[in-house]
Amino acid sequence: EVQLVESGGGLVQPGGSLRLSCAASGFTFRTYWMHWVRQAPGQGPVWVSRIKNDGDITSYADSVKGRFTISRDNAKNTLYLQMNSLRAEDTAVYFCAREGPTLTFHFDLWGRGTLVTVSS
């Protein structure tokens, strides 16, 4: 089955760190660019970060630049998001998403998401 499964979310204090993982299966992970998208409760999705299929190119939303790091291990079919210096406004469900093969910044496969709550 073609799927993405996120893990690693939870409750963390402001200023803390968390690493999210996204396990891919059912498709050739190493050939796809991948993204993280987050969605705060009751709000719309917000694009967070993107990584090239071989990991050589990364990009970030201004709101997370310098605090979050996207990476991938193609041997393990896994995408990561290292989140440091977390703030209350980072509270959201974090989705990993696969970019379509035409590389036109659309997301053709999504995981179910993992909830990150930043609170003291």
Partner 1 sequence: QSALTQPPSASGSPGQSVTISCSGTSSDVGGYNYVSWYQQYPGKAPKLMIYEVTKRPSGVPDRFSGSKSGNTASLTVSGLQAEDEADYYCSSYAGRNMGVFGTGTKVTVL
Q: How far is the CB of 87 from partner 1 (least distance, A)?
A: 17
CA–CA distance, 6 with 79 (Å, rounded to integer): 9
Q: How far is the CB of 47 from partner 1 (least distance, A)?
A: 4
x/- letters, 1..40, toward partner 1 (CB under 8 A): ----------------------------------x-x---
CA–CA distance, 17 with 1 (Å, rounded to integer): 32
Q: Kindly tell me which of 111 and 116 has the beta carbon lying closer to partner 1.
A: 111
Beta strands 45-51; 34-39: pairing state: antiparallel
- Considering only CA atoms, give the Rg of the chain: 13
Q: Could you tell me which residues are beta bridge partners of residue 69?
A: 82
x/- letters, 56..95, toward partner 1 (CB under 8 A): -x-xxxxx-------------------------------x
